[in-house]
Amino acid sequence: MNYQVIVLAAGQGKRMKAGKNKQFIELEGKPVIIHTLSVFEADPWCMEIKLVINEKEKDIFKELQHQYPVQKIKEMVIGGEERQDSVYNGLTSLQSAEIVLVHDGARPFISQEVIHHLVKKAAKEGAAIVGVPVKDTIKRVSKAGVVEQTVERSSLWSIQTPQAFRYAILKEAHDKAKAENYLGTDEASLVERIHVPVHIVEGEYENFKLTTPEDIILAKAFLQK
Ligand SMILES: Nc1ccn([C@@H]2O[C@H](COP(=O)(O)OP(=O)(O)OP(=O)(O)O)[C@@H](O)[C@H]2O)c(=O)n1
Ligand SMILES: C[C@](O)(CO)[C@H](O)COP(=O)(O)O
């Protein structure tokens, strides 16, 4: 089974407060983005990687590509203002595609096993995403900081990437969102708006997104495991 993947690295990493794009933070001597790309480079099902970058960081990424060559990157794509714009640019740069995955460069611990479950599901159903059941008790809280409700947890999932779709479905969802100025936090939220059922594949808690400084401590601990 084959797929193409859009790997997103064009964000600023503001919440990480590292003074640079969090993709360049080193874990065990290698930048985060290289850890992430290595998973797809090693996966025989992955035919092509579209790496989406910030125009201003082109030279840094070219240097990285020189230092850590990734054969499946045929070209780098320039991202946009919002994550969704970056995905769109990656998507429209694909010449032809059947199954497309979208993955955050900031999730370096995705496993090949989960990717394969996801790709099989997307090939069968058209749309599939990776998630894990929430572990905490979840409450709805008012703006004044008072609990309004304890939400029933059994149907709540924390959603990760990769998210996988038949190309035509993801393109239609993005075109509609663009036309209606809708901004979602993930691809599935756009696909839900064109009424295509999105299937969940249970993933791993290790596939967390490096978002704030504590995540780097966790990532280092995870790599030493
Ligand atoms: N315009 C954007 C914004 C985000 N991303 C990518 O989307 C992924 C998930 O986004 P997030 O964690 O929000 O990353 P940042 O935007 O970098 O972080 P922050 O929101 O803290 O600035 C990251 O790999 C990031 O590089 C992107 O390609 N283009
Ligand atoms: C797509 C995503 O990784 C799913 O968890 C996430 O929504 C994107 O990042 P953000 O932290 O919501 O900006």
pLDDT band at 96 (very low <50, low <70, confident <90, very high): confident
Cβ–Cβ contacts within 10 Å for residue 73, how many? 18
Write the pLDDT tens digit of every residue in 185-199: 999 999 999 999 999
CATH topology of domain 3-224: Spore Coat Polysaccharide Biosynthesis Protein SpsA; Chain A (3.90.550)
pLDDT class of 95 with cuts at 50, 70, 90:
confident
Q: Of ligand 2's atoms, which has the minimum distance to the CA of residue 163?
A: 1
Residues 26-84: tens digit of each pLDDT: 999 999 999 999 999 999 999 999 999 999 999 999 999 999 999 999 999 999 999 99
Closest residue CA from atom 13 of ligand 2: 185
**Which of 218, 209, 182, 173 has its CA nearest to residue 9?**
209
Ligand 2, residues 183, 209, 212: which to mutate, most atoms within 8 A of Cβ? 209
Percentage of residues in the chain having pLDDT higher than 90? 98
* Closest approach atom of ligand 2 to CA 15: 11
Does ligand 2 come within 6 angstroms of the Cβ of 163?
Answer: no
Ligand nearest to the CA of 33: 1
Q: Between the CA of residue 146 and those of 110, 142, 149, 161, what are the distances in Å?
A: 36, 5, 9, 32
- Distance (angstroms) between ligand 1 centre and the Cα of 145 equals 28
Mean pLDDT of all residues belonging to the chain: 97
pLDDT tens for each residue of 139-191:
999 999 999 999 999 999 999 999 999 999 999 999 999 999 999 999 999 99
Omega before 162 cis (within 30°)?
Answer: yes
User: What is the separation, in whole angstroms, between the first and last Cα of the chain?
Assistant: 31
Model confidence pTM above 0.95 = yes
**Alpha-carbon gap, residue 183 to 176, rounded angstroms:** 11
How remote is the CA of residue 8 from the centroid of ligand 1, in Å? 7
CA distances from 84 to 37, 89, 104, 214, 224 (A): 20, 9, 12, 26, 33
Which residues, listed in sequence order, are joined to residue 7 by a DSSP beta bridge? Answer: 51, 103
3-class SS at 141? Answer: strand
